[in-house]
Amino acid sequence: MRVIDVPVSLEDRTLDQLAEGIGAWPPEPFLLNAHGTTWASPYGLVSLLTLGQALHEAKLPRARFAVPESAETRSYWSRIGFFHWASDLFELVGRATRRPFDTPSDVLLPITPIRAFDDVSTVVGKIQERAQRILASEINLAPKASVRFVMTLSEVCQNIIEHAGTGGWVAVQTYYWKKRLGRKVVVIAVSDAGIGFRRSLEATQARQVGERWGDGAALELALMHNVSRYRDPGRGQGLYHIRSYLTRWQGKISVRSGTARIAIVPPWDDDPALAEQLPFFPGSQVQITIPAQEEGDPQ
């Protein structure tokens, strides 16, 4: 059986390594080896679940998943809810506590499935009190900005239901980005195993775009030009608003779909605005990063 190593640190930048290891889709049976993994961002964890979900939906055999050797890493992944959901999607190899317990204090929202609009309402309802307290005390977001944060979360979760054609996952966490930013950040990670932006927009946009049509062009239309597959002018606004809020907060959004990734890049980051011809990864992944606000930052 093929063994695919999960990067030691799994996050938005290293997901491409994992995708490269998986290779062409549908993949041959494999064992996902997270034995040496010591850290994963919420983005990394929801992406792993998406991989398991995509295998399941493609009616492929469940992949085996070797859990991290580090007890600390395993404990954290249990507490954020990863093993609870992963045990349905992978054949777990190694000891892991499957039931989530004692959510860590920096987790605003443990990994939560989004399968219907009701799930979005529940997420929004549940997160508000905790989010407002943590966002105010740790990220220094004003109460009005906290409401915008929750609206952002709502819109990005709805994108799963409206466009993916299947369910997905969301998680929200704060952590300290010492090297990259020197500030605390709050991160929303969303991933779904759905049809992706290219297929969602293909029927209405592919002919107009012509030869350049692909994952990158579809992401550009959705994120930069508010294009939706619906003709109603009220549609396609979710990502537009997310973008405008993030500009105000010097935040970052990065969306990966299929073989491309697009990002609104704030001054503190050096990601390319558009990366194409990446190794394929199923579905779509969104990461929103909002840095702690400092005195004088507009909100």
Partner 1 sequence: MMQRIGLAPLLRETVATPYSDLVTRSTGAALRTRIEETISTASHRTTMLDFTAVGLIDFSCADEVVAQLLLRVAGEEEHYVLLFGVSEHHLEAIDHVLERHGLSVAALPVGEGAPRVLGFASPDVAMAFQAIQRLGAGDAKRLGESLGWTVERAADALQSLALRRLIQAAGGTYRPLPLPA
Phi-psi region of 183 (alpha: psi -120 to 50; beta: other; left: phi over 0): beta
Q: In angstroms, what is the minimal distance from the CB of 186 to partner 1?
A: 17
End-to-end CA separation in angstroms for the chain = 52
Which is nearer to partner 1, 9 or 237 (by Cβ)? 237
Closest CA to 47 of 97, 78, 10, 17: 10
Which is nearer to partner 1, 122 or 208 (by Cβ)? 122
Which is nearer to partner 1, 56 or 248 (by Cβ)? 248
Q: How far is CA 10 from CA 6, 44, 88, 191, in A?
A: 7, 5, 21, 14
Q: In angstroms, what is the minimal distance from the CB of 189 to partner 1?
A: 19
Tokens of 65: 């998943």
Q: In angstroms, what is the minimal distance from the CB of 72 to partner 1?
A: 35
Tokens of 115: 């399968």
C-alpha 86/C-alpha 11 separation (Å) is: 17
Which is nearer to partner 1, 151 or 206 (by Cβ)? 151
For partner 1, the binding residues (CB under 8 A) are 117-118, 120-122, 124-125, 128, 144, 147-148, 150-151, 154-155, 158, 161-162, 233-235, 237-238, 241
Q: In angstroms, what is the minimal distance from the CB of 109 to partner 1?
A: 15
Q: In angstroms, what is the minimal distance from the CB of 55 to partner 1?
A: 29
Which is nearer to partner 1, 21 or 238 (by Cβ)? 238
Tokens of 233: 């002018």
Spacing of C-alpha 54 from chain mean position: 15
Which is nearer to partner 1, 28 or 118 (by Cβ)? 118
C-alpha 257/C-alpha 281 separation (Å) is: 7
Q: In angstroms, what is the minimal distance from the CB of 241 to partner 1?
A: 6
Q: In angstroms, what is the minimal distance from the CB of 96 to partner 1?
A: 32
Which is nearer to partner 1, 73 or 154 (by Cβ)? 154
Residue linked to tokens 């929103």: 288
Which is nearer to partner 1, 13 or 229 (by Cβ)? 229
Q: In angstroms, what is the minimal distance from the CB of 124 to partner 1?
A: 5
Tokens of 73: 């890493």
